[in-house]
Amino acid sequence: MGIKDLTGLSSEAKGLALYSGAYNFASALYGFITIFYVTALGYSTAFFGALSAIGEAALVLSLLATPHVASRTGAKGSVILGTAITATSVLGLATFSAPAALGAAFAGTGVGQAMVSPTFSSLVSAAEPRERRTAAFVASGVTNQLGAFVGTALSGTLADLLQPSLGRIGAYRIVLAVASASMAPALLLIYKTSVDLRPGSNPWRMSKVSRRAAWKLIVAAILIGAGAGFLIPYFPLQFKYRFGSSTAYISQLFSVTNIVMAVIMLYMPELERRLGSLRSIVGSWIVATALMVAMPAAAELPFGVVAFSALYLARTTVMNAIGPVQSSFELSMMDPGDRPTFSSLETLAWNAANAGTVVLGGIIMQTSLDVPFYICGIFYMAAAIFYYSSFTRRSDI
């Protein structure tokens, strides 16, 4: 698959891809800088973990309502509402610094994400027929990474440029305010998109065929989400604490990772054609896990920051570039009317598990920078084994 394949997509799929890029540009702007902002205010990594858990808990609770919202507003209306809530919450994060206010802002972003993430996936699945569904997810995935590339690079760079005149906290607040304002183009793009999907009046009722696959996918999501909570939110601080890296360096590394991921993502459907969906997904998880658990040892090498950075780039790219293939594979097992509900349930499961471990990750990191890698690796390997064993008998793997 390449650029030619993506240009043949419908106008609806292209519009959704543009929204994905705009939304993730704004999300990367605030997402990258938030951990530095909270710690600059004088709070500990454990407190940041608690804030993250609040956001995840709000997301999980909101996901229980998301299918009902989508059944009344349509999936498109849910995405519009979630984008607006996120923009407002990020503006609150930039304005207030008291613990309660920070907790409310993190909760707001969780609610916004709950309204956006699962329903957006169902919109992408409805924009193209089965034979072009992976291409639609690739298009959204590529623009997602391109938006994240620009947003992440701008986030750290802008913060460093503003620090001499505004101080760290003032600079971080400007970045957060810019992120909030940057949600406006995303709102306009999703508003103009014509594709929509509306679950039935009882959105939690799924067909027997959908339920048979859904529970297995949800178990795998729980394992991945739980493992990620121990490590993934703290990667920026891993670089800061191990090597004293600047925010500009970390943001540039993360943004390069996004652009590499966007390029690699274009070739994931070819990997799917050669190996099958299941083997491509599980193989990517296993390789990414091996790269991740090698990172602590690499940090001790003479050029540790270079080796650590290279492994981070490779691990993150391999783990996430397969995402469009995974989304297409999983949603193909769901009846069309069940896709918004399944997406909500899977997102709920991942984030509930993540919320349960993110506080532990912050606490463990205060005593050991290495242990979170190994705990995360155990969960990821368990997920890979379970996922493969659950679907290895499918005829289209």
What does the pLDDT read at residue 203?
60
As a whole-number percent, the residues of the chain with pLDDT over 90 amount to 42
- Which of 1-10, 30-39, 118-127, 248-257 is the least confident region? 1-10
Mean pLDDT of the region 112-117: 88
Spatial contact of 248 and 156, defined as CB atoms under 8 Å apart: yes
Mean pLDDT of the region 56-78: 82
Highest mean pLDDT, choosing among 9-23, 98-112, 142-156: 98-112
Question: How many Cβ atoms sit within 10 Å of the Cβ of residue 44?
Answer: 13
pLDDT band at 369 (very low <50, low <70, confident <90, very high): very high
What does the pLDDT read at residue 268?
81
Spatial contact of 245 and 377, defined as CB atoms under 8 Å apart: no
> Which of residues 106 and 53 earns the better pLDDT score?
106
DSSP 336: G
What does the pLDDT read at residue 389?
93
Rounded to 5°, angle at Cα 75 from 213 and 327: 35
Spatial contact of 80 and 16, defined as CB atoms under 8 Å apart: no
Mean pLDDT of the region 253-279: 86
Instruction: Give the DSSP per-residue string, 259-306.
Output: HHHHHHHTTHHHHHHHH-HHHHHHHHHHHHHHHHHTHHHHTTSTTHHH
Residue 53 has pLDDT above 60, yes or no: yes
As a whole-number percent, the residues of the chain with pLDDT over 70 amount to 95
Q: Which residue reads 């940041």 in tokens?
A: 48
Q: Does the predicted TM-score (pTM) go above 0.85?
A: no
- Angstrom distance (rounded) from CA 90 to CA 45: 20
- Record the tokens describing residue 108, joined without a space: 């707001």
- Record the tokens describing residue 125, joined without a space: 């699945």
What does the pLDDT read at residue 7?
60
> Which of residues 234 and 351 earns the better pLDDT score?
234
> Which of residues 2 and 36 earns the better pLDDT score?
36
> Which of residues 275 and 344 earns the better pLDDT score?
275
Instruction: Give the DSSP per-residue string, 104-155.
Output: HHHHHHHHHHHHHHHHHHHHHHHHS-HHHHHHHHHHHHHHHHHHHHHHHHHH
What does the pLDDT read at residue 222?
96
Using one digit for the tens of pLDDT, what is the confidence trace for 71-98? 788 888 889 999 999 999 999 999 999 9
How high is the mean pLDDT of the chain? 87
pLDDT band at 25 (very low <50, low <70, confident <90, very high): very high
Residue 3 has pLDDT above 60, yes or no: no
Using one digit for the tens of pLDDT, what is the confidence trace for 118-131? 788 878 877 777 66
Q: How far is CA 313 from CA 185, 257, 288, 305, 362, in A?
A: 29, 5, 10, 12, 22
Highest mean pLDDT, choosing among 1-5, 46-50, 107-111: 107-111
User: Torsion angle of alpha carbons 20, 22, 24, 28, nearest 10°?
Assistant: 170
pLDDT band at 380 (very low <50, low <70, confident <90, very high): very high
Residue 218 has pLDDT above 80, yes or no: yes
What does the pLDDT read at residue 101?
94
What does the pLDDT read at residue 199?
62
Domains recognised in the chain with CATH numbers? 3-191+206-391 (1.20.1250.20)
Taking alpha carbons only, the member of 53, 300, 26 closest to residue 187 is: 26
Mean pLDDT of the region 144-148: 87
- Which of 9-18, 93-102, 185-194 is the least confident region? 9-18
pLDDT band at 395 (very low <50, low <70, confident <90, very high): very low
What does the pLDDT read at residue 397?
45
Mean pLDDT of the region 34-60: 88
What does the pLDDT read at residue 396?
45
